[in-house]
Structure 1
C-alpha cells in the first residue's frame, strides 16, 4: 500500500483514538500481573490487536452510518476530535468501501476472539460479541444507540469494564471485583471524551435527528454532565483506595486532577464556542490517557514495591 493511501486509512480509522481500548487493555493486564504474577505477552498482544480491530471497525461503521443519516454531511463545525474522519465527505474513500472495511475489521477481531476464547475461556466469546454489537449498532439501524442518547453509556461500558475485564480474564482466566471497580473510572473518562466532543456537533446532530445527551439537554445544561463524569471518575479512585479495593499507589493518578479542573473551567465558559472549547476536548483525551496509564503504573509500583 502506498504511503499516502496508508495515511488516509489511518485517518479513516481515527487511529489516535485507539487509546480508548489500548489503555483499558493495559490496565486489565496490569491488575492480573499484580494479583497473580501472570503475564502472557503473546495473549496481551492478541488482546490488544482484537480490541484495536473492533475499534477500527466501529469508527469506520460510525462514519458510514453518520453519512447515511447526513449527520456528518451537514456538519460545518467539524474539529480534529469530532465530526468524523471526513474522508467520505471529501470523496477520498467511498461509503461502500468504508462499510466493507468495517466488516473486515470486525471479522479480523472475531478470528482473534475465537482463538482466545478456545485457548483462555469461552467467557471471552461473550465479551467479544457484546463489544462488536456495541460498536456496530452504535450508529447502525435499527438500534442506533448513539442517536438515542445511549452513546456515552455504551462507550463507557465497552471501553471500561468490558475491555478491562476481558484483558484481565485473558491473563488470569477468572473475573475480578477489583478489576470491575477500577474499570469504572476509565469508562467514565472515555464517556467524558465522547460527551465533550459532542458539544461542537450540537446543531448538526439536532438537525439530523441524532439525539445525543447534548441535544436532549442543550449545551448549557449539559455542562453539568461533563463535570459529573470527571468528578465521579476521581471519586471512584479515591473510594477504591480508602476501601482497600486497590493499592494506595493508584492515587498517583490524582496528579492529573488539575487537568480535569482546567477542562471543566473551559467547558463552563466556552461551551457554545467551537474554537474555544477545543482545549477542553483535547485535555479530556489527555486526562483519559494519563489516568489510565497512571493506574497501571500504580499496580506496577505496588507489585515491585509492596511496602508502599
Structure 2
C-alpha cells in the first residue's frame, strides 16, 4: 500500500508540473493525435476544445483515449502514459470549475471560452479524462516503469457492452445521415398510400422491400456524396458546416476513412439493386424482365451516383433537378407502381411534384451556408449562380426562388386536391411553418445586407429557416399521405 501511495504522489507531482499533453483518439481504425493544454484535479484531467474538432467527434463515438504527459525542461526521460475514458462535461458547475482551472494554465482560448455565440451554439466544450491505468516512466531510474490502476474508473462489463452498442448505433446513424432519410420515407409512404386509396389493397411484403430498397439507395447516395465532396475538397473547404449542410463530416471527423465510405456506398447500391431485382421477379416473373421498375431503378441509381460522382450533377447546376426527380416523381410513382401496376399515373405524378419541390428546397436553402465553399471548389449550385460572384453573397434572388417555389408547391396541392382528392387539402397546414420560415428569412436578409454584418456568424442564424424547410417537407408529405388514407377509410 505504501508503494501505491508513493507512486501516486510521483504521478501527481508530474501532473502538477505539466500543462501540456498529447491526446490520442480513434474510431473505426482512424487514429488521431492532438496536443492540448490541460489542468488536473487529482488524477482527473480536464481540457478545452471545440466540439466540432476531430478529437471531440471521435470521443463522442469512442471515449477510450490514450495520452502522454511529459514536463518541459525535465532532466532525463520522465513521462506519464495514460489509458482512460474521456467525456464531454455536461454539469454546469463542473464545467465552470474546468474552465477556471484551464484558464489558470493558459489564457490562449479565453476569448473563445467567453464568446456568447459559440456557447449558445455548443461550439466550445470542456472534457474530462478519467484514467484507468497510468504508466509512470522514469527511464534512468532503477525502476523504469511503474503502473497505477484506478479500478473505480473502469466501467463494469455490462456497462461497457451497453455503451459499446449505443455508440455503434449512434455511429451508424451518423454515417448514413439518418435524420435526412425522411426525404425517402415521405415519397414512399405517399406513393403507397395513393395505390391503397385507388385499389383498397395493400401488400406489406412489397412495401417493406420497396421501403428498404429506397432507403439503401438514399444511404448510398449520401455516402457517395461524402466521398466525392471529400475528393473535390469541398467539405474540407467548408468552414460554415452545420447539422444541415456541409455533408456528414464522417471523413473530416475521422469517423471513417474515404475508401471505406466509398465501399459502403457501393454496398448500399448493391443492396438496392438486389432488392429491385427481387421485386422485379416477384411482380414480373423474372429478375431481368423488361419493366417500368427496371427503368425506374436504373434512373434512380444513376442519379444517386452521378449527383456528385463522375458527371458531378450538383457541380453543374443540375443537383436540384436530380433531387427533385429522385425524391419526387421517381419514388412516389415507383412506390405506387409496386403496390399495383395500374396505379393512376396523373395522380401519382401530380402529387409527387410538391414533394419533389419541397425536398429540392431543403437542398437549396442548405446551399446558402455552403456558398463560399461551393464557389471556391467550382461547385456551381443555383445558389452560387444566383448569389455570386462577389465574396459576400447576395442572397436576395435565391431567397425569392425559395419563397416562390414554396408557394408553387402549395398551389399544386390545391390543384391536385380539387382534381382528385379534397381531403389532401389538410396538407396545406404546413403553410404556417413556411410563413414562419419566410418571416425569419426576411429578417435575416435585412441583417445580412447591412454594411457591418458579421458574415462569420450570421449564416448560422439562418439555420431556423433550414429547419422550417425540412419540417415543411416532412409534414406536407405526411399530411398528403394521411389525406389519401382517410379517403380510403371513410
Q: TM-score range by the shorter chain?
A: over 0.9
Could you say which residue in structure 1 is the equivalent of 2:152?
none
User: How far, CA to CA, are the matches of 2:370 and 2:276 in structure 1?
Assistant: 34
Residue by residue over 1:170-204, the C-alpha shift from the partner in whole angstroms, topping out at 9 and shown as x without a partner, is 00113421111111000000011111111001011
Q: Tell me, yes or no, if structure 1 residue 262 matches structure 2 residue 416.
A: no
1:274 Cα shift?
A: 1.5
CA distance in 1, matches of 2:485, 2:372: 45
- Per the alignment, residue 253 of structure 1 pairs with 427
Distance 1:174 1:158 in 2: 21
Aligned length: 302
Structure 2 counterpart of 1:194: 363
Aligned to 2:454: none
Q: Name whichever structure is richer in strand by fraction.
A: 2
Which residue, out of 340, 360, 376, partners 1:172? Answer: 340
Answering whether residue 346 of structure 2 is matched by residue 161 of structure 1, we say no
> What residue in structure 1 maps to residue 399 of structure 2?
223
Secondary structure at 2:254's aligned position in 1? coil
Measure how far apart 1:83 and its partner are: 0.3
Unpaired runs of 5+ in structure 1?
A: none
- The answer to whether residue 312 in structure 2 is matched with residue 144 in structure 1 is yes
Instruction: Provide TM-score, normalisation by structure 2.
Output: 0.60
Give the structure 2 partner of residue 287 of structure 1.
472
Q: CA-to-partner distance for each residue in 1:38-79, whole Å, 9 max, x for gaps?
A: 200111011000000000000000000000001100111001
Per-residue CA deviations over 1:109-138 (Å, capped at 9, x if unaligned) read 100000111222421111111111101100
Partner Cα distance (1:31, 1:229) in 2: 24
> 1:191·1:229 contact (CA, 8 Å) conserved in 2?
no
For 2:237 and 2:443, locate their aligned partners in 1 and report how far apart those are by CA, in whole Å.
26
The CA deviation string for residues 213-260 of structure 1, in whole angstroms up to 9 with x for no partner, is 000000221111101221111000111223x2x210000011110101
**Is 1:75–2:250 an aligned residue pair?**
no
Q: Does the aligned pair in 2 maintain the 1:193–1:284 contact within 8 Å?
A: yes
Match of 1:203 in 2: 372
Q: Which has the higher contact order (CA 8 A, sep 6+)?
A: 1
Q: For residue 225 of structure 2, give the secondary structure of its aligned residue in structure 1.
A: helix
Instruction: Calculate the aligned-residue CA RMSD, in Å.
Output: 1.2
Q: How far apart are the structure 2 equivalents of 1:225 and 1:154?
A: 17
Q: 1:14 aligns with which of 161, 166, 177?
A: 177
Structure 1 distance, partners of 2:440, 2:231, is 33
TM-score by length of 1: 0.95
Whole-Å separation in 2 of the counterparts to 1:238 and 1:179: 15
Does the 8 Å contact 1:202/1:214 carry over to 2?
Answer: yes
Cα deviation for residue 2 of structure 1 reads 4.3
2:268 aligned residue (96, 105, 116):
105
Answer with 1 or 2: which has the greater Rg.
2
- Select the residue among 219, 222, 239 that pairs with 1:59: 222
Secondary structure of the corresponding residue to residue 173 of structure 1: coil
Instruction: Decide whether the 8 Å contact of 1:27 with 1:293 is kept in 2.
Output: yes
Cα deviation for residue 269 of structure 1 reads: 3.0
**8 Å CA contact 1:226, 1:264 repeated in 2:** no
Q: 266-275 or 167-176: which moved more?
A: 266-275
Equivalent-residue separation in structure 2 for 1:90 and 1:134 (angstroms): 27
The question of 1:124 aligning with 2:309 is answered: no
Q: Are the aligned partners of 1:117 and 1:123 in contact in 2 as well (CA < 8 Å)? A: no
SS in structure 2 opposite 1:209? coil
